[in-house]
Amino acid sequence: MGHRAGLRQLPPFRELHPEVRKALEVARCAAAPSPIYAVGGYVRDLLLGLRNVDIDLVVEGDAIAVARRVGQRLNIAVTPHPRFGTARLRLSEGITLDLATARSEQYPEPAALPEICPAPLLADLARRDFSTNAMATRIDRHRFGPLIDPLGGLEDLQRGQIRVLHDRSFIDDPTRIFRAARFEARYRFAIARDTLRLMKAAVRGRVIRNLAGPRIFTELLLIGKEPSAPLAIRRLSDRGVLAALHPNLAELPAAFGLLERMRRVLARSRSLPLLQSPSPGEAYLHAMLYPLHPRTVVAVVRRLNPPRRIAEKLVADLDACRRTARQLARAVDLRQSRMARLLDPLSPEARVVVLASLERGSKRRAVSRYLTYSWKIMPELRGKDLRHLGFPPGSLYREILAALRSAKLDGHLGTREDEVSFVRRRFARAALQD
Ligand code: ATP
């Protein structure tokens, strides 16, 4: 299962991206004489031999001060978060460096945000979500130190299992239920038996109810960014987590086919230039909500309580998807110009939902062809050409250019000359009138 066969030692520095190597060395110097550690998912993925561009570093001291020194040395901006004692630096090529002060956490009440206080590294590891995410290694001069693994993370990584570190873990922080499904699906790991029991007990104990909507929303978006999102969503559904969000989400199994088709659409869209790339996180959320009654959609969105702009977009997009699906269901004319009229006004996410919602057949082919190929087709003539042809500037241009594009989309216009004669023929009167 998963990557167990590929499990390896921490790599030598020469195997790291040069940018990362340099940043680690600079961070080590900036923290000296205190030690600095790589921790969490970054260490997990080093052991799995997987690329991870989000580097988490921990110091037993003032991480923000260390981050400022790193920023100065590398001449890059630092974004500090004083409340959490953390700071972020963005290196090139999407690499981020997060520095944190080692801390322990107290949960004032279930599912609330924790109160934090500085602590030794080992306490910082013990407050983490899963054993596989609770390993560290010191950054030594030009190499990683030995693996620091007080909680059995390496063994769990070898077994391919996700295990919480204490019995209250899911009660303290129910977002871990979502995180577990995400890692389970991403690495094809199993949830350890005791951990699954604790998770189910927590869901039965209604911990999800106490969880703030935006935190759930964030977790769902993170899941949607994973190529394995449908599996993670299925697991959440099987465990009654989604039904705990809203009873009507219990109907989600009906949408599994749609989620799977969405996975294929998004996978293809990574290699094909789609008419504007959709955000995968949002696209999956759309797909989850699409089969629900509009009133239920509004209720679920209210529960998730995302930023207002996003909430409004979600509801509007889903309305537009349903409308477009109805129009498509009735459509006899499947020309590309018709597809343009149907799909151009939609958001990128709504477009992929429409595509994923179609079963195999001529309609799906027409939509797919438009989104992956035809959308690029534009007339050669521009406004200035219309002026040369004697058309007075004005709102007519928009009409002419739209007509040109439609005709071109439907294969009636090959060359620039074709376009010129089309415009002369079709809009002759308009040109003469003025
Ligand atoms: P990814 O590969 O998706 O980025 P990650 O494990 O790096 O996964 P992050 O969300 O970047 O996850 O968090 C970094 C580390 O912080 C985790 O590896 C884990 O040790 C710790 N962590 C994150 N979220 C939680 C949480 N809810 N509870 C406890 N520890 C957490």
Radius of gyration (C-alpha) of the chain in whole angstroms: 27
pLDDT band at residue 1 using 50, 70 and 90 as cut-offs: very low
Quote the mean pLDDT of the chain: 92
Pocket of ligand 1 contains residue 40 by CB under 6 Å: yes
Pocket of ligand 1 contains residue 175 by CB under 6 Å: yes
Ligand 1 centroid distance, CA of 244 (Å): 23
- List CB contacts of 267: < 8 A, sequence separation 6 or more: 227
Please tell me the distance from the alpha carbon of residue 108 to that of residue 215, in angstroms, as a whole number: 17
Please tell me the distance from the alpha carbon of residue 107 to that of residue 118, in angstroms, as a whole number: 15
pTM: 0.91
**H/E element, 214:** helix 213-224
The number of helix segments (H) and strand segments (E) in the chain equals 22, 11
pLDDT at 408: 94
**Are 101 and 85 within 8 A, CB to CB?**
yes
The yes-or-no verdict on residue 141 having pLDDT over 80 is: yes
Residue that wins the pLDDT comparison between 105 and 224: 224
Ligand 1 centroid distance, CA of 41 (Å): 6
Minimum CA distance residue for ligand 1 atom 12: 41
Q: Is the peptide bond before 12 cis (omega within 30 degrees of 0)?
A: no
Kindly write down the DSSP assignment for every residue of 279-319, as one continuous string: PHHHHHHHHHHTTS-HHHHHHHHHHH---HHHHHHHHHHHH
The single-letter code of the amino acid at 87 is A
Closest CA to 220 of 145, 132, 300, 324: 300
pLDDT at 116: 82
User: Which atom of ligand 1 lies closest to the CA of 173?
Assistant: 27
Minimum CA distance residue for ligand 1 atom 9: 41
Ligand 1 centroid distance, CA of 56 (Å): 9
pLDDT band at residue 373 using 50, 70 and 90 as cut-offs: confident
Please tell me the distance from the alpha carbon of residue 343 to that of residue 350, in angstroms, as a whole number: 9
The yes-or-no verdict on residue 431 having pLDDT over 80 is: no
Ligand 1 probe mutation, 48, 56, 106, 127, most atoms within 8 A of CB: 56
In this structure, the number of other CB atoms found within 10 A of the CB of residue 16 comes to: 16
pLDDT band at residue 19 using 50, 70 and 90 as cut-offs: very high
**Are 294 and 319 within 8 A, CB to CB?**
yes
Ligand 1 centroid distance, CA of 40 (Å): 6
222-280 pLDDT per residue, tens = 999 999 999 999 999 999 999 999 888 887 777 789 999 999 999 887 766 666 788 99
Closest CA to 136 of 29, 67, 60, 190: 60
User: What is the rounded average pLDDT of the residues 146-167?
Assistant: 96
User: What is the rounded average pLDDT of the residues 358-386?
Assistant: 91
Pocket of ligand 1 contains residue 41 by CB under 6 Å: yes
The yes-or-no verdict on residue 21 having pLDDT over 80 is: yes
pLDDT band at residue 3 using 50, 70 and 90 as cut-offs: very low
Minimum CA distance residue for ligand 1 atom 15: 40
pLDDT band at residue 4 using 50, 70 and 90 as cut-offs: low
Closest CA to 100 of 47, 36, 41: 36
| % of the chain with per-residue pLDDT over 90 | 78
Please tell me the distance from the alpha carbon of residue 49 to that of residue 44, in angstroms, as a whole number: 9
20-45 as b/e: b if 16+ CB within 10 A:
beebbebbbebbeeebbbbbbbbbbb
pLDDT band at residue 118 using 50, 70 and 90 as cut-offs: confident
Pocket of ligand 1 contains residue 131 by CB under 6 Å: no
DSSP state of 237: H
User: What is the rounded average pLDDT of the residues 367-375?
Assistant: 90
**H/E element, 220:** helix 213-224
Kindly write down the DSSP assignment for every residue of 108-157, as one continuous string: SSTTSPPEEEE--HHHHHHTSSBGGG--EEEEETTEEEEEE-TT-HHHHH
Please tell me the distance from the alpha carbon of residue 372 to that of residue 313, in angstroms, as a whole number: 23
**Are 367 and 275 within 8 A, CB to CB?**
no
Please tell me the distance from the alpha carbon of residue 376 to that of residue 36, in angstroms, as a whole number: 50
Pocket of ligand 1 contains residue 128 by CB under 6 Å: yes
DSSP state of 164: B
Packing angle, helices 213-224 and 229-238, rounded to 10: 140
Ligand 1 centroid distance, CA of 267 (Å): 25
The yes-or-no verdict on residue 76 having pLDDT over 60 is: yes
Which tokens is 103 given?
Answer: 């801390």
User: What is the rounded average pLDDT of the residues 153-165?
Assistant: 97
In sequence order, the β-bridge partners of residue 252 are none
Spell out the long-range contacts of 218-222 with Cβ–Cβ below 8 A and sequence spacing 24 or more.
218/175, 219/175, 219/178, 219/179, 219/182, 220/178, 220/281, 220/284, 220/285, 220/288, 220/304, 221/281, 221/282, 221/285, 222/178, 222/182, 222/281
Secondary structure (3-state) at 420: helix
pLDDT at 2: 46
304-359 pLDDT per residue, tens = 999 999 999 999 999 999 999 999 999 899 999 999 999 999 999 999 999 999 98
pLDDT at 275: 66
DSSP state of 39: E
| % of the chain with per-residue pLDDT over 70 | 96
